[in-house]
Amino acid sequence: MPFNNYDYPFKKWGERLLTKKKIIMRIIQIVIVLFGISFFTFLLTYLAPGDPAQIMLTSSGVMPTESAVNALRESMGYNDPFFVQYFRWLGNALHGDFGMSFSLNKPVVELLLARLWPTLKLTLFSMVLMLIVSLPLGMLSAVKENTWIDNVVRGITFVGVSMPNFWVGLLLMLVFCVKLGIFPVICSGGTFKSMILPSVTLAIAMSAKYTRQVRTAVLEELHQDYVIGARARGVQERKILWRNVFNNSLLPLITMLGLSVGSLLGGTAVVEVIFSYPGLGNLAVAAITSNDYNLIQGYVLWVALIYMVINLIVDISYNFVDPRMRLAR
Amino acid sequence: MEMKKKSFFAANKTFCVFCILAILLILTAIFAPVVTRGIDPAAGSLKDAILPPGPGHIFGTDKMGRDIFTRVIYGSRVSLTAALSVVGLSFGIGTLLGVLSGYFRGIVDAIIMRIADMMVSFPGLVLAMAVAGILGASIRNAVLAVAVVTWPKYARLARSLVLKIRDRDYVAAAVTTGSKHGYMLVRYMLPNALPTLIITAATDIGSLMLELAGLSFLGFGAVSPTPEWGLMLSEGRAYMQTAPWLMVFPGLAILITVIIFNMLGDGLRDILDPRHEG
User: Is B16-27+67-272 a domain of CATH 3.40.920.10?
Assistant: no
CA B177: distance to chain centroid? 41
- Nearest partner of B69 among B36, B108, B28, judged by Cα: B36
- Nearest partner of A298 among A28, A45, A1, A29, judged by Cα: A45
CB neighbour list of residue B93: distance below 8 Å, 6 or more residues apart: B147, B151, B154, B155
Q: How distant is the Cα of B168 from the closest Cα of chain A, in angstroms? A: 23
Indicate whether B270 pLDDT > 60.
Answer: yes
| Bond from prior residue into B52 cis (ω within 30 degrees of 0) | no
Nearest CA in chain B to A298: B130
Which three-class secondary structure state does DSSP give residue B205?
Answer: helix
Nearest CA in chain B to A174: B240
Lowest pLDDT segment from A232-246, B37-51, B138-152: B37-51
**Contacts with B, A 114-173, CB within 8 Å:** 158-159, 161-167, 170-171, 173
Q: What is the DSSP letter of A107?
A: B
A219 touching chain B per CB within 8 A: yes
CB A221 within 8 A of CB A215: no
Record: contact A1-B149, CB cut-off 8 A: yes
Record: contact A164-B127, CB cut-off 8 A: no
Indicate whether B161 pLDDT > 70.
Answer: yes
pLDDT of residue B24: 92
**More confident of the two residues B44 and A270:** A270
Backbone phi, psi, residue A97, to 5°:
-110, 105
Please, which pLDDT band fits residue B93 given cuts at 50, 70 and 90? Answer: very high
pLDDT of residue A16: 54
Angle between helix A165-172 and B190-218 (nearest 10): 30
Record: contact A293-B127, CB cut-off 8 A: no
Q: How far apart are the C-alpha atoms of A121 and A129, rounded to whole Å?
A: 12
Cα dihedral sign, A194-A197-A199-A202:
negative
**Could you read off the pLDDT of B196-239 as tens digits, one per residue?**
899 889 888 998 999 999 999 988 888 888 889 999 998 888 88
Q: How far apart are the C-alpha atoms of A25 and A21, rounded to whole Å?
A: 6
Report how far apart, in Å, the C-alpha atoms of B81 and of each of A285, B113, B228 are.
25, 29, 11
Backbone phi, psi, residue B121, to 5°:
-85, 45
Pick from B87, B126, B199 the residue to mutate for testing the A interface (most A CBs within 10 Å).
Answer: B126
**Each residue's pLDDT tens digit in chain A (329 positions)?**
233 333 334 444 445 556 777 788 888 888 888 888 888 888 888 877 767 777 777 766 666 777 777 777 777 777 778 888 888 888 888 887 888 887 788 888 888 888 888 888 888 899 999 999 999 999 999 888 888 989 999 899 989 889 888 899 999 888 888 778 777 776 666 677 778 888 999 999 889 989 988 998 888 888 888 888 888 888 888 888 888 888 888 878 888 888 788 778 777 888 888 888 888 888 988 888 888 888 888 888 888 888 888 888 877 877 777 666 655 54
pLDDT of residue B213: 92
Cα dihedral sign, A183-A184-A185-A190:
negative
Cα Rg for chain B, rounded, in angstroms?
A: 22
Residue A299 lies in a domain: no
Indicate whether B6 pLDDT > 70.
Answer: no
Q: C-alpha angle with apex B103: B98 to B104, nearest 5 degrees?
A: 105
Indicate whether B91 pLDDT > 90.
Answer: yes
Residue A123 lies in a domain: yes
- Nearest partner of A1 among B90, B254, B80, judged by Cα: B90
CB neighbour list of residue A207: distance below 8 Å, 6 or more residues apart: A129, A130, A133, A134, A137, A157, A160
Domain count, chain A: 1
- Nearest partner of B254 among A170, A127, A208, judged by Cα: A170
A156: domain CATH number is 1.10.3720.10
Residue A256 lies in a domain: yes
Backbone phi, psi, residue A100, to 5°:
-100, 145
pLDDT of residue A11: 46
CB neighbour list of residue B45: distance below 8 Å, 6 or more residues apart: B65
Can you give the residue range of the structural domain that contains A154? 116-292
Q: How far apart are the C-alpha atoms of A121 and A119, rounded to whole Å?
A: 5
pLDDT of residue A235: 85
